[in-house]
Structure 1
């Protein structure tokens, strides 16, 4: 999450949607960029406007991603971190030491994609959390602009214009995991499991399994 009070803009960071790249735009190009104190950088819109009610009047935005692709990205991140941990990577070991509860919860799902899809959304809140819930208040108010990872640069330029920044032709993504096309990871069971658990996201944003990229 980031805020610019001068531009009256609020960014709600949904995990695994390119948010770290947007954080970097704020941090490097917006002089008064700040975070809302006392909450996670992935705090939901509803939480942010409770803590700072004036943010309800700011232009707000977040990004979303195809749920099937997002699950593959989640798994690639988790399995990659555990591979580094098992190899003794010093930076990764420190992360595990800082957040033992988080990584302890993820460990049972780090090596089996099917298990991750079928069980992690119910066992781990941050994995199971709906994107639409993160971007909507209890009264049903959604952020003003919902960008999509699938058209990241054009939608990022909508945000940049709002911040008074020049448009870009490319946006090097931060924390991008390396993996094959998401569709190759699924069988009928896991495909249906994502459709069922994230049905509200699929309906709200019009995603389908066969959508590209």
Structure 2
């Protein structure tokens, strides 16, 4: 019966998703500390990623127990507006009114990474990169920033 319905979901670049998770978990404390590289690595080392829904690899939500994709369409946060129009078109719905409400104010996600952290993300989210066709980051030659996030 479920096969009669159009099934869709949205995914996000694993590097950007991880940084977004970090800042999201800082917000309730109202303490926007600098994104320290060691704090970021500790999250991956000390957190049970499989049990933390916001860190769980995205493919876990998209495939069944046999490893088969269960969605008809996978949109990306990076192309959300266009992909949302695609979903509405497939469902024969009028074009949506689109307003971006929650726009984060942090630097480009790769600015928060060093080579070790990239390798960690690549390891934990390897299948997400492959299934969702996100490119693996090239090696970073130097740390660009670890400073406070611009915030309103």
Tell me whether 1:202 sits opposite 2:142 in the alignment.
Answer: no
Tell me whether 1:144 sits opposite 2:72 in the alignment.
Answer: yes
The Cα of 1:121 is off from its aligned counterpart by 4.8
CA contact 1:62–1:147 (8 Å) conserved in 2: yes
Between the aligned partners of 2:64 and 2:11, the Cα distance in structure 1 is: 16
CA contact 2:14–2:128 (8 Å) conserved in 1: yes
CA deviation string 1:106-151 (max 9, x = no partner): xxxxx93232243335374314422112011113142000001111
1:60 alignment counterpart: 7
Q: Which runs of 5+ in 2 are unaligned?
A: 33-37, 139-152
Q: Which runs of 5+ in 1 are unaligned?
A: 1-53, 87-110
Between the aligned partners of 1:164 and 1:76, the Cα distance in structure 2 is: 37
TM-score by length of 1: 0.54
Between the aligned partners of 1:132 and 1:189, the Cα distance in structure 2 is: 23
Q: Which has the higher contact order (CA 8 A, sep 6+)?
A: 2
CA deviation string 1:23-65 (max 9, x = no partner): xxxxxxxxxxxxxxxxxxxxxxxxxxxxxxx333211000111
1:189 alignment counterpart: 116
- The structure with more helix, counted as a fraction of residues: 1
Between the aligned partners of 1:209 and 1:82, the Cα distance in structure 2 is: 32
CA contact 1:132–1:201 (8 Å) conserved in 2: yes
